[in-house]
Amino acid sequence: YEIKERRKFSAEEIRFYALSVCKGLEFLHGLGIIHRDISYNNVMLSKYGQVKIIDFDISHFEEKEKQKDTLVMGTAGFAAPEQFGFMRSDEKTDIYAVGSLIHFMLENSTQRDKDLIAVAKKCMSFTPESRFKNVGLLINALSKKEGKVGVFKVLRFSYYMLSFLTILTIIVSSFNIKGLITAISIFLCSVFPIMLFSNEWNWQDTFPWFKYAERKFKIFAEIIIYITALMISAFLFGLFIG
């Protein structure tokens, strides 16, 4: 289905969809192809959250020796200004369209992400020179995630502290088998559940059905996963110490 059919987007979803479109464009631009019509009509989502770019009717190979395009084409609200002024379209034209797509998703977002707003604004600069110079730089900007806040930030801090204590315990007790087992037990009982709960290994990204589930479901599922991991860790702790 078309991306415009989605009613709400989280900041994480916006970043993922925008990055997916950018990676597709990066491949096209590497071949010298400019899409020229990236819009909410031409970005499709599968039921598993995969992104596909469609409609290459007005795409063309970039002709750097030309100063102007011959036709006015593109979707109003997404097409760059140069597409309506008979100026030459290039990869910055597609970058403008990505910014418009991000802007559309932000208007239907459940969160206000200042970084995404800034990225969209730069993409949609009136003059091409003020935009990202290429899609690679846009990908880098989109990949810079905000630090986790609230309980996740606390958990991440706890993870680093406990990791430090575990390493310190291993060093101190390096010649003591019982001490080494204790250190491993501390890791399994304390650090490991926190790593799971805070998505330290980005394990959620491998499960699209989880990554794009409703926020309430995700919170509930993460709590269940944390409790389960804690119980397993406690069992292993008792097994090691016992």
Residue 167: how many other CB atoms lie within 10 Å: 12
- What is the pLDDT at residue 66? 75
Query: What average pLDDT does range 85-95 have in this prediction?
Result: 88
Backbone angles phi and psi of 43, in degrees to 5? -115, 115
If phi > 0 it is left, if psi is from -120 to 50 it is alpha, else beta; for residue 115 that is alpha
Mean pLDDT score, 163-178? 59
| C-alpha span between 208 and 24 (Å, rounded) | 19
Per-residue pLDDT reduced to its tens digit, 126-138: 999 999 999 999 9
- Cα(168)–Cα(232) distance, rounded to whole angstroms? 24
Please give the distance of CA 226 from its chain centroid, rounded to a whole number: 23
What pLDDT was estimated at residue 195? 62
Of 83-87, 167-171, 229-233, give the lowest mean pLDDT range: 167-171
Q: Alpha helix locations (H) across 42-128?
A: 91-107, 114-123
Using the predicted structure, report yes or no on whether residue 88 has a pLDDT greater than 50: yes
pTM for this predicted structure: 0.61
Nearest to 39 by CA among 76, 69, 14: 76
Start-to-end C-alpha separation, the chain: 55
What pairing do the DSSP bridges indicate for beta strands 43-45 and 33-34?
unpaired
Residues 5-55: pLDDT tens digits?
887 898 989 999 999 999 999 999 999 999 999 999 999 998 877 899 999
Please say if the pLDDT value at position 102 is more than 60. Answer: yes
Region 96-110 average pLDDT: 94
Distance CA(103)–CA(139), nearest Å, equals: 16
At 132, list the tokens: 């990202």
Are the CB atoms for 102 and 139 separated by under 8 Å?
A: no
Instruction: Look at the alpha carbons of 36, 37, 42, 45 in this order and tell me if their dihedral is positive or negative.
Output: positive
- CATH tag for 3-143 (out of 1.10.510.10, 3.40.718.10, 3.90.700.10, 1.10.357.10): 1.10.510.10
pLDDT bucket at 152, cuts 50 / 70 / 90 = very low
Domain ranges of the chain: 3-143, 150-241
Is a pLDDT exceeding 80 seen at residue 201? no
Q: What are phi and psi of 45, to 5 degrees?
A: -120, 135
Q: Between these two residues, 145 and 78, which has the higher pLDDT value?
A: 78
pLDDT in the model for residue 148: 44
pLDDT of residue 230: 67
Are the C-beta atoms of 160 and 187 separated by less than 8 Å? no
Mean pLDDT of the chain: 78
SS3 assignment, position 34: strand
pLDDT at residue 110, rounded to an integer? 79
Indicate if the pLDDT at residue 153 is higher than 60.
no
What is the reported pLDDT for 242? 56
- Cα(142)–Cα(149) distance, integer angstroms: 18
DSSP state of 32: T
Predicted local distance difference test score (pLDDT) of residue 178: 64
